Structure 1
């Protein structure tokens, strides 16, 4: 009987870890899909002048390191969630704390990404900014990416 209970607990833990990984993957996939739409618009469809291209390139270079750090924080938070699930085997205080840390990491990444988009927006002409606004709004509300 102990072996059966142990296998059942192991199965439940593996299932929960897989579910958490799937959820995080969906969040990141949606973020990348939306980001790709915005990136394509900026670099292929806005007819940027040379000065705009140079200024946006500087913004993107600065943001790349910040984004990598924030994504690393999210991966760390997800690993801590998996460990908490493994330790508690239930929705206990360590799991709840780890979930809060995941949400904080995702929020920090989203805030930094929007700050980056607004910095790019400041480089654009009004007609270009309107197109960027429309693309961002569409990316955030499109059920296919959310």
Structure 2
């Protein structure tokens, strides 16, 4: 093998590994590989229906909230995927934590923050639908949904 071939092979390998690392880090920050960001909502709703007795009016109102939030969440998750693509491309170009990588990370963090804030706004909107006798159970459900099982 020539020195140039080894050098190019090493660059390609480093680029590939850096891109994989970027995707892994972004995936972990966005909610992990084993648990998608949207699984929190599914788990929360399953626990809510199991632990809180809801009347028909609350069910209809929750369905409406969930439909609106699903659209917002889908758009933000698509933005996170696009951010990850930009991060991988920046890593492939810079091969280091350079300005393009830093900008891509910052953009991804802004999108993750927006998703987290939207999720919390959704949870608090759901809480406002609860009767005073239901809020303690709702709060326990939220804590359980956000706390990883041992």
TM-score (normalised: structure 2)? 0.85
Distance 1:102-1:111 versus aligned 2 partners, 3 A rule: same
State the distance in 2 between where 1:15 and 1:130 align.
Answer: 47
Aligned to 1:18: 20
Distance 1:24-1:39 versus aligned 2 partners, 3 A rule: farther
Q: Which moved more, 1:86-95 or 1:26-35?
A: 26-35
1:67 shift after superposition:
0.9
Aligned to 1:41: 47
Distance 1:143-1:7 versus aligned 2 partners, 3 A rule: farther
1:70-109 matched pairs, under 5 angstroms:
70-109=76-115
Distance 1:30-1:132 versus aligned 2 partners, 3 A rule: farther
* Of 119, 135, 139, the match for 1:133: 139
Long gaps (5+) in structure 2: none
Q: Secondary structure at the match of 2:37?
A: helix
1:30 shift after superposition:
5.9
Over aligned residues, Cα RMSD in angstroms? Answer: 1.9
Q: Which moved more, 1:91-100 or 1:17-26?
A: 17-26
Long gaps (5+) in structure 1: none
Aligned to 2:130: 124
TM-score (normalised: structure 1)? 0.87
Distance 1:132-1:30 versus aligned 2 partners, 3 A rule: farther
- Name the structure with the higher helix share: 1
